[in-house]
């Protein structure tokens, strides 16, 4: 379950949200009968519906990257979005954009190699520059080495670079928010936890005693 309250259809008054509820869920109440056409629970929408202007702001962002005004090719955009989802550990963003990456025209080999692009031979120099830039945005918080940026500028216009930067960082944010609020496929327990020692184990047996004290 998500960490915050979902908004049932009869609790929503905003016409913009109700319109999207209908587009995504038909006439169903998405809280009582969850599920979208892509197989997700749909609770991203029902949680963010608590704040109508935030809901509208984020959903209009979806329209931004799909707009015909974009200069950045779809395949390069999806490389950034999918890799960002993987790097922040968002199963929701990663899973959804694996599908979108295929639809954009990336090959199955490329889609499957996004998580290990550094050692894959299915990406050309332009795609590798986009992936290296994405890694610098997400893992290094924008600390992009000159060599990476210079490589990117060989293939992308300044307009395309701005679009790639904005969209990739937006999906980094979406992945982080989804994990924090345990939305959609990110409703999972943290895998990093203590594993109990066998009953009766002592500190010495577990190697926790400083040998210099003996």
pLDDT per residue as tens digits for the range 130-173? 999 999 999 999 999 999 999 999 999 999 999 999 999 999 99
Cβ contacts of residue 119 below 8 Å, gap of 6+? Answer: none
CA distance 126 to 134: 12
Average pLDDT over residues 190-210: 77
pLDDT at 210: 59
* Residue 91: CATH number of its domain: 1.20.1290.10
Please indicate, yes or no, whether residues 88 and 171 belong to a single structural domain of this protein.
yes
pLDDT at 51: 98
Cβ contacts of residue 181 below 8 Å, gap of 6+? Answer: 2, 3, 4, 47
Quick check: 15 pLDDT over 70? yes
95 neighbors 185 (Cβ within 8 angstroms): yes
Domains held by the chain: number: 2
Residue 201 lies in a domain: no
Residue 195 lies in a domain: no
pLDDT digits (tens, 9 = 90+) for 53-108: 999 999 998 999 999 999 999 999 999 999 999 999 999 999 999 999 999 999 99
Classify residue 193 by its DSSP letter.
-
Average pLDDT over residues 32-41: 96
CA distance 38 to 24: 10
Please indicate, yes or no, whether residues 175 and 94 belong to a single structural domain of this protein.
yes
Please indicate, yes or no, whether residues 83 and 57 belong to a single structural domain of this protein.
no
pLDDT at 68: 95
Please indicate, yes or no, whether residues 76 and 127 belong to a single structural domain of this protein.
yes
Q: Is 111 helix (H, G, I), strand (E, B) or coil?
A: helix
Task: Give percent of the chain with pLDDT exceeding 90.
Answer: 89
Long-range contacts of 60-67 (CB under 8 A, 24+ apart): 61/170, 64/166, 64/167, 65/163, 65/167, 65/170
Q: What is the rounded end-to-end Cα distance, in angstroms, of the chain?
A: 51
Sorting pLDDT into bands at 50, 70 and 90, what band is 199?
confident
Domain around 140 = 72-186
Quick check: 211 pLDDT over 70? no
Check residue 141 and give left, alpha or beta (phi > 0: left; psi -120 to 50: alpha). left
135 neighbors 114 (Cβ within 8 angstroms): no
pLDDT at 209: 57
Q: Is 103 helix (H, G, I), strand (E, B) or coil?
A: helix
Quick check: 201 pLDDT over 90? no
Q: Which residue has the higher pLDDT, 120 or 191?
A: 120
């Amino acid at each position: 379950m998500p960490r915050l309250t979902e908004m049932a259809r009869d609790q929503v008054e905003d016409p913009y949200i109700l319109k999207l509820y209908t587009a995504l869920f038909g006439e169903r109440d998405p809280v009582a009968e969850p599920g979208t056409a892509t197989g997700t629970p749909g609770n991203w929408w029902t949680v963010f519906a608590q704040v109508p202007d935030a809901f509208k702001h984020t959903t209009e962002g979806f329209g931004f990257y799909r707009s015909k005004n974009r200069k950045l090719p779809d395949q390069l955009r999806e490389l950034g979005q999918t890799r960002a989802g993987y790097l922040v550990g968002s199963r929701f963003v990663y899973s959804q954009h694996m599908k979108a990456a295929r639809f954009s025209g990336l090959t199955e080999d490329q889609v499957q190699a996004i998580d290990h692009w550094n050692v894959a031979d299915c990406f050309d120099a332009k795609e590798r520059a986009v992936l290296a830039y994405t890694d610098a945005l997400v893992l290094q918080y924008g600390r992009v080495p000159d060599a990476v940026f210079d490589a990117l500028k060989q293939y992308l216009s300044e307009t395309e670079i701005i679009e790639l930067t904005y969209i990739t960082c937006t999906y980094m944010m979406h992945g982080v928010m989804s994990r924090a609020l345990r939305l959609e496929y990110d409703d999972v327990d943290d895998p990093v936890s203590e594993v109990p020692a066998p009953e009766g184990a002592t500190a010495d047996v577990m190697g926790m005693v400083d040998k210099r004290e003996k």
